[in-house]
Amino acid sequence: MAASKSQKIQAEIEKVKAKIAEQQARLKELEKNKLEAENSEIVDIVRGLSISLEELPLVLQQLREGTSGQSVQKPGSVEKEEN
C-alpha cells in the first residue's frame, strides 16, 4: 500500500516537472519574441527618425525604461530650452 502511494506521488512529481519544463520553454519563447519586437522597434525608430549615432544610446535607454521612442528629445534641444 505504501509503495502504491509512493508511485502515485512520484507520478505527480513527474507531471509537475513536465509542466515546469513546458512553462520554462514558453517563457524563453516569449522573452525571445519580446527581444525581437524591441529590436524591430529600434530599427523602425532609427530608420523612421534618422536618429544619429550620438542620439542612439539615449533612445535605447528610453526604450528600456518603457518610454516611447517618438518622445525622445535630442540632446541639443534640452540645452537650447534652458538658455
In this predicted structure, the answer to whether residue 67 has a pLDDT above a threshold of 80 is no
Cell of 42: 529600434
Q: Residue 76's pLDDT is what?
A: 52
pLDDT tens track for 22-55: 999 999 999 999 999 988 988 887 787 777 788 8
By the 8 A CB rule, do 64 and 39 touch?
A: no
pTM value is 0.48
- pLDDT band of 68, cuts 50, 70, 90: low
Choose from 10-24, 35-49, 64-78 the range with maximum mean pLDDT: 10-24
